[in-house]
Amino acid sequence: MQIIRELGPLRNALQNIRQEKSTLGLVPTMGALHAGHMKLVETATAQCDVVVASIFVNPTQFGEGEDLDAYPRQEAADAALLEAAGVELVWAPTVDQIYPDGFATNVSVSGVSAGLCGGSRPGHFDGVATVVAKLFNQVRPDAAFFGEKDYQQLAVIRRMARDLDFTHDIVGVPTVRDPDGLALSSRNAYLTAGQRSQAAALPDAMRDAAEAIKGGGDVTSILGEAEAKILASGFHEVDYFELRNADTLENMTVFDNPARLLAAAHIGSTRLIDNIAVT
Ligand code: PAF
């Protein structure tokens, strides 16, 4: 497995790969890989002849006071996992390969970026859309794989790909969860043992709320009760707990298909997000 950090060698390596293999899958990551990322790689290797993974902690998607410096970096361990999973090339660019001197372009996706994490993390999805557009242009995959765990991110990327004529497939991969239901996330590593056991209250509340909504209960009251339950279980702030249209992410106050519950809440110094289908 090659690890490449500069665009010239990346282009040469991709040209060689393209001569031998017909379909190329891209798994974009910020490293600190866990079983959720490896599920993306597994899905990509099942669907494509060759898989390229990128590791780039993208500074433009971190807001002021967010955890860019503290974000876990463990490239050697990540590379070992990717190699064992059959990845052929790791694209681990230096910052200047993504944002060269004088970089002045911003990809901003309106609509699906509004509210939810877009509300609590201003500018975050511009950073995501910009870096993902760059990665798509640099690697030119036939398919790119993203976790449903970051459901709004996936919607932003799908919209951006349609709008900017990226014609490759955007594949959403279901969330991987620990046995108690907590969605896997690099940020779970920040939780103390006590917070880790309390954190399962988030998926619990989401599951209960989804059942109550499907049962025909009043959506606004159910969402309010779910927030209260989370706050009583060790979380100290809920950024949002909302029912949205699963495709457009428009707000929903009366249940209709397709629907998705999305939530973000703070426990200790960690902000956790999650989402589930309500069908
Ligand atoms: O989901 C992530 O890890 C990042 O947001 C992504 C898509 C790799 C862009 O930096």
pLDDT at res. 72: 87
For residue 172, how far is its CA from the centre of ligand 1 (angstroms)? 13
CB 36 within 8 A of CB 183: yes
Atom of ligand 1 nearest to the CA of 132: 9
Nearest protein CA to atom 9 of ligand 1, as residue? 128
Q: What is the pLDDT of residues 18-57, one digit of tens each?
A: 998 789 999 999 999 999 999 999 999 999 999 999 999 9
| Three-state DSSP string of 120-167 | HCCCHHHHHHHHHHHHHHHHCCCEEEEECCCHHHHHHHHHHHHHCCCC
34 is an active site residue: no
Q: What is the pLDDT of residues 236-273, one digit of tens each?
A: 999 999 999 999 999 999 999 999 999 999 999 999 99
pLDDT at res. 22: 87
Q: What is the pLDDT of residues 127-178, one digit of tens each?
A: 999 999 999 999 999 999 999 999 999 999 999 999 999 999 999 999 999 9
Task: Verify whether ligand 1 is closer than 6 Å to residue 36 (CB atom).
Answer: no
Task: Verify whether ligand 1 is closer than 6 Å to residue 29 (CB atom).
Answer: yes
Instruction: Indicate the top mutation candidate among 61, 71, 97, 128 to test ligand 1's pocket, ranked by most ligand atoms within 8 A of CB.
Output: 128
Domains of the chain in sequence order: 2-173 (3.40.50.620), 186-273 (3.30.1300.10)
Q: 2-4 and 89-91 as β-strands: parallel, antiparallel, unpaired?
A: parallel
Residue 67 has pLDDT above 80, yes or no: no
Residue 186 has pLDDT above 90, yes or no: no
- % residues pLDDT > 70 (the chain): 100
Query: Rounded distance, CA 144 to CA 261, Å?
Result: 24
pTM of the model: 0.96
pLDDT at res. 216: 97
Name the average pLDDT for the chain: 97
Atom of ligand 1 nearest to the CA of 128: 9
For residue 28, how far is its CA from the centre of ligand 1 (angstroms)? 6
> Minimal CA–CA distance to 136: which of 52, 57, 79?
52
Task: Verify whether ligand 1 is closer than 6 Å to residue 78 (CB atom).
Answer: no
Atom of ligand 1 nearest to the CA of 28: 8
For residue 56, how far is its CA from the centre of ligand 1 (angstroms)? 8
Task: Verify whether ligand 1 is closer than 6 Å to residue 275 (CB atom).
Answer: no
Beta-carbon contacts of 239 under 8 Å, excluding residues fewer than 6 positions away, are 117, 119, 120, 264, 265, 266, 271
Nearest protein CA to atom 3 of ligand 1, as residue? 29
